[in-house]
Amino acid sequence: QLQLQESGPGLVKPSETLSLTCSVSGGSISSSSYYWGWIRQPPGKGLEWIGSIYYSGSTYYNPSLKSRVTISVDTSWNQFSLNLRSVTAADTAVYYCARHVRGYDLTYGYYYYMDVWGKGTTVAVSS
Amino acid sequence: SYELTQPPSVSVSPGQTARITCSGDALAELYAYWYQQKPGQAPVLVMYKDTERPSGIPERFSGSSSGTTVTLTIRGVQAEDEADYYCQSTDRSATYHVFGAGTKVTVL
């Protein structure tokens, strides 16, 4: 059974870089059927997609975060990572990693949805 | 930017039917997906491609689509269904994922 586990510091200082890793077990990150991505949820608020990556390294980012975000993949370790630069208190959130199913049909073309999620890790930005 | 609109809250008595809507200009041309999130837990996929139910999700959950609105229906609501529900879709290029603001379902 596929499992995803986020790891990284729970506290980051303002202006520094938030770095998280998602370790994938029970399946290969190199499958052509999936993307892998990050989603966050500020306290008491809704979900926000941060970005996604394919095992080949192809990435898509939320335009509102694109200038500060880098997502990378390490297929040898079966994991992918998030770097968010120049953080502020507004980046305080629970960060989730998730597998994105990648499909295609003749009606709507490519589609993606998140079928397996990690438990999430809380990151606070504070001095 | 592309937005999905959900009602903030829906209240329903046990055994009754809850309907949660999600509206977006492109939903007539794109699939929508639904996630259930209980307090302190990660979201769980409960509906994909508008009407498909993942294995393990109870049959009382169903989805429908009409024009630019998709609906998640929970028939015979149980106390355990009390949660936040988020719809999600992508833009037409499928490179941008967007979530609705979420609907809190309260079982009275």
**Tell me, what amino acid is at A61?**
Y
Longest CA–CA span in chain B (Å) reads 41
- The pLDDT tens digits for A90-121 are 999 999 999 999 999 898 888 999 999 999 99
Closest CA in chain A for residue B29: A108
Chain B residues with beta carbon closer than 8 angstroms to that of A118:
42
pLDDT at residue number A71: 98
Q: At residue B1, does pLDDT exceed 80?
A: no
Q: Where do the H-state alpha helices sit in A21-78?
A: none
Closest to A41 measured CA to CA, from B45, B20, B43: B43
What's the mean pLDDT in B72-96? Answer: 94
Mean per-residue pLDDT over chain A, rounded: 96
Closest CA in chain B for residue A53: B95
What's the mean pLDDT in B40-59? Answer: 97
pLDDT at residue number B94: 81
A98 and A116 Cβ atoms separated by less than 8 Å: yes
- The pLDDT tens digits for A19-44 are 999 999 999 999 999 999 999 999 99
Q: At residue B26, does pLDDT exceed 90?
A: no
More confident residue, B28 or B19: B19
At residue A55 the predicted structure's pLDDT band, cuts being 50, 70 and 90, is: very high
Q: At residue B99, does pLDDT exceed 90?
A: yes
CB A108: neighbour CB atoms within 10 A?
A: 16
Q: How far is CA A42 from the centre of its chain?
A: 15
At residue B108 the predicted structure's pLDDT band, cuts being 50, 70 and 90, is: very high
> What is the C-alpha to C-alpha distance for residues A53 and A72, in angstroms, rounded to an integer?
7
pLDDT at residue number B2: 82
> What is the C-alpha to C-alpha distance for residues B29 and B80, in angstroms, rounded to an integer?
33
- The pLDDT tens digits for B86-97 are 999 998 888 899
pLDDT at residue number B95: 85
CA distances from A107 to A42, A70, A110, B29, B95 (A): 35, 32, 9, 8, 17
Q: At residue B20, does pLDDT exceed 90?
A: yes
Closest CA in chain B for residue A122: B40
CB atoms A63 and B96 under 8 Å: yes
Q: Closest approach of chain B CAs to the CA of A37, in angstroms?
A: 10
Q: Where do the H-state alpha helices sit in chain A?
A: none
Provide, rounded to the nearest whole percent, the portion of chain B with pLDDT above 90: 89
